[in-house]
Amino acid sequence: MKKMLRLTGLLSAVALTAVGCSSGEHGPAEEGKIEGVVQWTMLDYGPMMKDWAEGMAEAFEAEHPGVDVQVTLPPSNSYQQLLTTQVRGDNAPDIAALPTAWVSAFADAGVLVDWTEVVDQEFLGRFEPTLLEGAKFDGALYSLPYLATSRALFWNQGAFAAAGESVAPATWDELIAQGTSIAEAGGADNGIAMQGTGVEAFSAWFPYVYWSNGGELADPDGRLAIDQEACIAGTTVLQRMVEEGVSQPNVTATDSGDMLSLFMSGEAAMTITGPWLIGMLESEAPDIDFAVAPLPKGTTSSTLNVQDAYVLFEGGNTAAAAEFARFLFDPEIADQFVEEQGMLPVLTEGFNAPRYQEGPLKAFVEMLPTGKFVPNDPNWLTLSDVGGRELQAMYTDGKTPEAVCAAIAVAAGS
Amino acid sequence: MGAIPVPAVAVGSRWRDGLTQLAGGGWRLYGYLLPTALLLVAVFAIPLVQTVWISFHAQKGLSPERVWVGLDNYRDLFIDATFWQIALQTIVWTVGVVGFTTVIAFIVASVMQVSFRGRAFFRVVLLLPWATSLALSAVVWRFAMSPYGLVNETISLFGFFDVSIAWLADIPQAGVALIFVGIWVSVPATAVMLAAAMRSVPRELYEAAELEGVGTIGKSLFVTLPLIRRVMLTVTLSNFVLVFNSFPIIYVMTGGGPVHKTDILATYLYRTGFSGSFDTGRASAIAVVIIAVLFVASIIYVRFFINRTKVA
């Protein structure tokens, strides 16, 4: 199977290479000599990644005999630490994948190459403008998104039916009321599965409730800022979910994997996450009768958009790495990749695929334009770290939303 | 092979003897030690010096720039209530795991000396936690301790307590759970070492005790324990250092949370240096404090416990 995958990748890439060469698509990066080692550090999305990445590397090497692409797929838990250590040790890879929320920290350290210096405008014009704009930091394009997601509410229609409910909640108040009634009726043990530990305990769950209550994470000058009124309204929603028993009892010990497991096992009637859960449910929990709905409203509608992107590190084999990136952004390769990962595309033409026009993915595509990205600010990771602990203090120690928001504002410097 | 007798000589005399040995070609002996010494310098001394050096600097985020701040990192650390809270948790964790491990391992090792049906199976089962990686054990226990996991299911079978205890969500239950897992992974190795020491106790002593009418517990307390005391103290010291620095169990099971309540200095160091603000200077200061505490505690322990114990 593995050999088959690699062979398929190789053959399709060779075929694409022939098409690409004949159509003269290559831009400035091709003008320099493409050779040498390209160290490629890639995010690991699952068991198929190794074969896919090695297949891509082999295909590119076949096209460029002087290039040796060395693939590294670090464990996701230590990915950020690995890159940080490599950068500090002046040993960064030539090209790496990372969430755009991390880009600002690397860009601020002056170790990234601006993509506009190595690829042409025609190439950049193929990207969905909203996503490309969301990848910018200080007006420069240090990261090139290769997949995107937004977040939506997954709800278990069977659990809802057990409580006589048939419609997804439209507001946070409705979510709490429905979650309570479902748990009481025995439709599921818990109304909603929440994440209370790990990176997204704050960086995803706080924006869900904060933005939908009218808050913005950056002031007009682009600096991190916390709107106290929206923060208090948002964190009160999270506090109520935990205190009123709508969520699972061990929120502070629940990471993203646990949260998904709770929904997939039917122990939680709802959760909020990205489109990857669709594939997981279809393959591992086909009995769960789920549907996808927009995030509940507070005073307004919003969701979190996230994208993963490629960055080029200064001092590396930039020409070859940029050419390799162009290879990965071939429409067929890019589309096949996002489909396999169950994500959303970044190239505008990718959205034309039928799977984005109907079915559960449609809700994510529709929410993408209303969604927001977390700020590209080097202090975001620090704020996220502090915010995560503050939310935990609210869940376990009864810290008030007012006190939590005051501490978050201090960490944000606002 | 018998032990080499060491004559009681004055310090100055030892130096003279050493120099005489070197002059007589004894330097070759030091040559044999050189590869090990070089390895220790490479993997221990150089990183240690580097860590101390970084602890005198401010280095945050991804910037490779370091700014000399002298003792500021240490001062900030010592006036931080969170640091002292975590230091206290580290002591509770270490004493809890090492203390219970020593007692349980002694009992288990004693049982291993007795012939009974299924002893070989018992030994294999005993070694399983030791043979499993710490991270894997922690992952398994993390699942088992979820509200709908094996632990609550088992408790509910016996009709005890609430069946949906959130073991890892808050203290004190998270602390208890972590110490339990710490003991679970520490007992096998400790028991095996104690069992080996117990086998060196002459059988005649047990027979003499039996003739005096001493029972099983009495033999363990008054024959076995004094004779394996030195091994037990050495194993305890080893466990103390390992548990004090133990990282995988806490990192995997609770990540030190919620709100630092289950952090120990080792996990706090990691979170300080490799998440949030990536404060390498402060993390290095924590590392230096850990090394200093372990060094001083080990010296005191060896001086007052191990060296004062007669050789069995």
Percent of chain B with pLDDT over 90: 61
Give the pLDDT confidence of B171-195 residue by residue, as tens digits.
Answer: 999 999 999 999 999 999 999 999 9
For the record, the structure tokens of B214 come out as 């001493």
Would you say A371 and A303 are in contact if contact means Cβ atoms under 8 Å apart? yes
Report the C-alpha gap between A96 and A219 in whole angstroms. 30
How close B89 gets to chain A, by Cα (Å)? 18
| Closest partner CB to A392 (pick from B62, B63, B258) | B258
Q: Has residue B86 got a pLDDT over 50?
A: yes
The pLDDT of residue B114 is 84
Would you say A374 and A380 are in contact if contact means Cβ atoms under 8 Å apart? yes
Lowest mean pLDDT among A50-54, B118-122, B258-262: B118-122
For the record, the structure tokens of A342 come out as 């169950």
Which amino acid makes up residue B265?
Answer: L
Report the C-alpha gap between A337 and A343 in whole angstroms. 9
Dihedral of alpha carbons A312, A313, A314, A318, sign: negative
The pLDDT of residue A23 is 36
More confident position, A76 or A315? A315
Q: Which residues of chain B are within 8 Å of residue A385 when distances are taken between CB atoms?
A: 271, 275-277
pLDDT class of A104 with cuts at 50, 70, 90: confident
pLDDT class of B158 with cuts at 50, 70, 90: confident
Give the pLDDT confidence of B9-52 residue by residue, as tens digits.
Answer: 455 566 677 677 666 667 777 888 899 999 999 999 999 999 99
For the record, the structure tokens of B193 come out as 């070492």
* Closest residue on chain B to A86 (Cα): B62
Lowest mean pLDDT among A230-234, B41-45, B277-281: B277-281
For the record, the structure tokens of B300 come out as 């005191």
Q: Which long-range CB contacts under 8 A does A87-92 form with residues at least 24 apart?
A: A87/A111, A87/A313, A87/B62, A87/B64, A88/B62, A88/B64, A88/B280, A90/A315, A90/B64, A92/A313, A92/A314, A92/A315, A92/A316
The pLDDT of residue A377 is 84
Q: Which residues of chain A are within 8 Å of residue B146 when distances are taken between CB atoms?
A: 250, 253, 258
For the record, the structure tokens of B86 come out as 């975590």
ipTM above 0.90, yes or no: no
With CB atoms and an 8 Å threshold, state whether A389 touches B62.
Answer: no
The pLDDT of residue B32 is 86
pLDDT class of A357 with cuts at 50, 70, 90: confident
SS (H, E, C) A300-367: CCCCEEEEEEEEEECCCCHHHHHHHHHHHCCHHHHHHHHHHHCCECCEHHHHHCHHHCCCHHHHHHHH
* Closest residue on chain A to B64 (Cα): A88
The pLDDT of residue B254 is 94
Q: Which residues contact B292 (CB under 8 A, 6 or more apart)?
A: none
Which amino acid makes up residue B233?
Answer: L
Give the pLDDT confidence of A5-50 residue by residue, as tens digits.
Answer: 444 444 444 444 433 333 333 334 444 568 999 999 999 887 788 9
Report the C-alpha gap between A111 and A90 in whole angstroms. 9
Report the C-alpha gap between B86 and B89 in whole angstroms. 5
Burial A256-283 (b: 16+ CB within 10 A, else e): bebbbbbbbebbbbbbbbbbebbbbbee
Strand-pair category, A152-156 with A268-273: antiparallel
Q: Which residues of chain A are within 8 Å of residue B280 when distances are taken between CB atoms?
A: 88
Q: Which residues of chain B are within 8 Å of residue A253 when distances are taken between CB atoms?
A: 146, 166-169, 174, 254, 257-258
Neighbours of A104 (CB within 10 A): 22
Q: Hey, what's the torsion of the CAs at B50, B56, B61, B62, to 10 degrees?
A: -40
The pLDDT of residue A22 is 35
Q: State mean pLDDT over A140-161.
A: 95
DSSP element (H, E) containing B58: strand B57-58
How close A35 gets to chain B, by Cα (Å)? 29
Q: Which residues of chain B are within 8 Å of residue A265 when distances are taken between CB atoms?
A: 148
Report the C-alpha gap between B64 and A89 in whole angstroms. 8
Q: Has residue A125 got a pLDDT over 70?
A: yes
Q: Has residue B118 got a pLDDT over 90?
A: no
Q: Which residues contact A139 (CB under 8 A, 6 or more apart)?
A: none
| Closest partner CB to A396 (pick from B64, B164, B170) | B170
* Closest residue on chain B to A385 (Cα): B276
Report the C-alpha gap between A90 and B293 in whole angstroms. 33
| Closest partner CB to B259 (pick from A253, A384, A392) | A392
The pLDDT of residue A130 is 82
How close A253 gets to chain B, by Cα (Å)? 5
Burial of residue A1 (number of CB atoms within 10 Å: 0-12, 13-18, 19+): exposed
Neighbours of A194 (CB within 10 A): 26
The pLDDT of residue A30 is 45
The pLDDT of residue A369 is 81
Would you say B262 and B174 are in contact if contact means Cβ atoms under 8 Å apart? yes
Question: What are the start-end ranges of the H helices in chain B?
Answer: 11-21, 27-40, 46-55, 72-78, 81-112, 119-131, 134-144, 150-157, 173-199, 203-211, 216-219, 225-244, 248-253, 265-274, 280-301
Q: Has residue A64 got a pLDDT over 60?
A: yes
Nearest to B101 by CA among B178, B184, B173: B184
pLDDT class of A1 with cuts at 50, 70, 90: very low
The pLDDT of residue B112 is 87
The pLDDT of residue B153 is 87
Q: Has residue B120 got a pLDDT over 60?
A: yes
Q: Which residues of chain A are within 8 Å of residue B261 when distances are taken between CB atoms?
A: 396
With CB atoms and an 8 Å threshold, state whether A109 touches B62.
Answer: yes
With CB atoms and an 8 Å threshold, state whether A397 touches B275.
Answer: no
With CB atoms and an 8 Å threshold, state whether B64 touches A198.
Answer: no
Strand ranges (E), A3-112: 36-41, 67-72, 95-99
Q: What is the mean pLDDT of chain B?
A: 87
* Closest residue on chain A to B259 (Cα): A389
The pLDDT of residue A264 is 96
DSSP at A97: E
Q: Which residues of chain B are within 8 Å of residue A313 when distances are taken between CB atoms?
A: none
Q: Which residues contact A295 (CB under 8 A, 6 or more apart)?
A: A151, A152, A153, A208, A212, A272, A301, A302, A303, A367
Strand partners, A67: A36
- Determine which of A81, A91, A250 to mutate to test the interface with B (most B C-beta atoms within 10 Å): A250
Q: State mean pLDDT over A280-289.
A: 93
Q: Which residues of chain B are within 8 Å of residue A189 when distances are taken between CB atoms?
A: 148, 164
What are B's interface residues with A at a Cβ cutoff of 8 A? 61-64, 146-148, 164, 166-170, 174, 254-255, 257-261, 271, 274-278, 280
Would you say B264 and B90 are in contact if contact means Cβ atoms under 8 Å apart? yes
Lowest mean pLDDT among A12-16, A55-59, A250-254, A376-380: A12-16
Would you say A188 and A266 are in contact if contact means Cβ atoms under 8 Å apart? yes
Give the pLDDT confidence of A206-224 residue by residue, as tens digits.
Answer: 999 999 999 999 888 878 9
How close A385 gets to chain B, by Cα (Å)? 5
Q: State mean pLDDT over A381-393.
A: 93
The pLDDT of residue A138 is 85
The pLDDT of residue B23 is 67
Q: Which residues contact B36 (CB under 8 A, 6 or more apart)?
A: none
With CB atoms and an 8 Å threshold, state whether B62 touches A84.
Answer: yes
Asked if omega into B172 is within 30° of 0 (cis), the reply is yes
DSSP at B206: H
Nearest to A172 by CA among A226, A238, A224: A238
Burial A38-73 (b: 16+ CB within 10 A, else e): bbbbbbebeeebbbbbbbbbbbbbebbeebbbebeb
Q: Has residue A80 got a pLDDT over 70?
A: yes
Q: State mean pLDDT over A296-324.
A: 93
Strand-pair category, A144-150 with A305-312: antiparallel
Q: Has residue A267 got a pLDDT over 90?
A: yes
| Interface contacts A/B by beta carbons within 8 Å | 90
The pLDDT of residue B148 is 83
Report the C-alpha gap between A284 and B113 in whole angstroms. 48
The pLDDT of residue A127 is 94
DSSP element (H, E) containing A406: helix A401-412
Strand-pair category, A290-293 with A190-193: unpaired
For the record, the structure tokens of B30 come out as 């030091």
Give the pLDDT confidence of B48-69 residue by residue, as tens digits.
Answer: 999 999 999 998 777 777 899 9
Q: Which residues of chain B are within 8 Å of residue A84 when distances are taken between CB atoms?
A: 62, 274, 278
What are the C-alpha distances in Å from B127 to residues A392, B108, B131, B187, B236?
37, 12, 6, 9, 18
The pLDDT of residue B138 is 94
Q: State mean pLDDT over A367-378.
A: 85
